[in-house]
Amino acid sequence: MTERSGASAATFLLPSLEEIKAAAEIVYRAIAPTPQINWPLLSARIGADVWVKHENHSPLGAFKVRGGLVYMESLRRRQPALRGVIAATRGNHGQSVAFAAKRAGLRSVIVVPHGNSAEKNAAMRALGADLVEFGDDFQEAYEHAASLANKQQLHLVPSFDSLLVSGVASYALELFRSVSDLDAVYVPIGLGSGICGCIAVRDALGLKTEIIGVVAASAPTYLLSLAAGSVIPAPVQPTIADGMACRTADSLAVRAISAGASRIMAVEESDIREAMRCLFSDTHNTAEGAGAAALAGLFKDAGQMRGKSVAVVLSGGNVDSQTFGEVLLEK
């Protein structure tokens, strides 16, 4: 596949269908495709034909593993003498980097903010990562990771990059090939690779499906940035959707989302928690906060989506057990 680094390029091009197919071949050497399931109870709840793309069924419990595999394969070819990589994360990106680095024979260092999910931290350590805790949010962890990369001669794996988009786009290819008549797809936005992957596949296949981005109201940088047409940093309030807790949007992602998404919406903490409960009661699947955000968005749009065929991306199920138990007991 063509190797491009979108995070550092002056312009960002969404991957072509050929690049996405080549990325998918890399992904499938390590993991199997995930299912897309039409759940009757969810459909009845919304009054629409509702499909769930189950990225929580990946071996790492989230979609990010796809991008990490593609990025690391390219990196290994470009820098064969490289000894190690470093990344900042709230969890799923870090697991992806650690998993892919281990397969490539590379050391991985992962920087997380203080107070990060204990179970995600444990998962990253189990994958062989050296875990470093620094800062109060993702942005501070990322800045520290960049500093450590220079000091320890490690390659800094970005959280948004064209290779990551190509990899995660493989889930969108699976979805659209299986359900080609979707009226809309709701996608959670953390730093933007997932929604950019969905836009890329939709466009490459010539479909008319609406792509609707969903952000947490507690982390509104993408909502504000897309409205303004430029990056608008915004403080992050405590949120159960830790995978969406981004303080500063990526400018290239903003450009791609602005061109390809029909709209962006924000969901409140109570909306996300209700969606987590509904996913469990209606499908018996565990969703982390970010993973349930897309369904929370569909709930808000239920009236206008009635009678249509829609999909929600359950991007991950890696929620701490205590947190999930508390959510389930809420009324």
Pairing of strands 49-54, 36-38: antiparallel
Given this chain, do its domains 17-62+162-329 and 64-156 carry the same CATH topology? yes
43 class by beta-carbon count within 10 Å (0-12 exposed, 13-18 middle, 19+ buried): middle
**Range list of β-strands (E), 189-323:** 210-216, 263-267, 309-314
Dihedrals φ, ψ of 115, to 5°?
85, 10
The amino acid that residue 323 corresponds to is T
pLDDT at 8: 40
pLDDT in tens, the chain (331 residues): 433 443 444 457 899 999 999 999 999 999 999 999 999 999 999 999 999 999 999 999 999 999 999 999 999 999 999 999 999 998 899 999 999 999 999 999 999 999 999 999 999 999 999 999 999 988 899 999 999 999 999 999 999 999 999 999 999 999 999 998 999 999 999 999 999 999 999 999 999 999 999 999 999 999 999 999 999 999 999 999 999 999 999 999 999 999 999 999 999 999 999 999 999 999 999 999 999 999 999 999 999 999 999 999 999 999 999 999 999 999 7
- Asked if residue 109 lies in contact with residue 134, where contact means CB atoms within 8 angstroms, the answer is no
Among residues 168, 226, 223, 243, which one has the least CA distance to residue 200?
A: 168
pLDDT at 308: 98
pLDDT at 3: 39
Q: What angle do CA 46, 227, 274 make, to 5 degrees?
A: 30
What is the number of helices (H) and of strands (E) in the chain? Answer: 14, 10
Is domain 17-62+162-329 annotated with CATH 3.40.50.1100? yes
pTM comes to 0.94
Q: What angle do CA 189, 20, 257 make, to 5 degrees?
A: 30
pLDDT at 91: 85
Which CATH code is given to the segment(s) 64-156? 3.40.50.1100
- Domain assignments of the chain as residue spans, ordered by start: 17-62+162-329, 64-156
